[in-house]
Amino acid sequence: SQTIHQWPATLVQPVGSPLSLECTVEGTSNPNLYWYRQAAGRGLQLLFYSVGIGQISSEVPQNLSASRPQDRQFILSSKKLLLSDSGFYLCAWSVSGQGVSGANVLTFGAGSRLTVL
């Protein structure tokens, strides 16, 4: 069966410090990977998605970046955190290669709660 892991679960960082959140998926190959952010405990916003190694698409301009160094590894980073980067970050994966990708069910990780002080 497939599993998705995210870490760290919680993180408190000062403004201006770097960030690295990691997400890995097990039990599948070549998944689509996603980073979502949930601010103030509410609606989710898609930040990045990836359909393959080294292929990253950004949905919104921001202080963050993403990388996919391995097939099942997705990393969210920042060189200098801002207060507005605080939030709950969720990684998700879906099966790729289906004829109609909009049907893909996203499976989410447990999330990483980031507080920037």
Which residues in this chain contact other proteins in the complex, by CB under 8 A? 32, 34, 36, 41-46, 49, 51, 57, 59, 88, 90, 92, 94, 96, 98-111, 113
Question: From the CB of 79, what's the least distance to other proteins, in Å?
Answer: 26
Shortest separation between residue 22's beta carbon and other proteins, angstroms: 16
3-state secondary structure the chain: CCEEEEECCEEEECCCCCEEEEEEEECCCCCEEEEEEEHHHCCEEEEEEEEECCEEEECCCCCCEEEEEECCEEEEEECCCCHHHCEEEEEEEECCCCCCHHHCCCEECCCEEEEEC
Of 26 and 59, which CB lies nearer to other proteins in the complex structure?
Answer: 59
Q: How far is the CB of 51 from other proteins (least distance, A)?
A: 6
Indicate the residue among 7 and 108 with the shorter CB distance to other proteins. Answer: 108
Is 78 or 112 the residue whose CB approaches other proteins more closely? 112
- In the bound state with other proteins, the residue whose beta carbon lies nearer, of 7 and 88, is 88
Q: Are 74 and 55 in contact (CB under 8 A)?
A: no
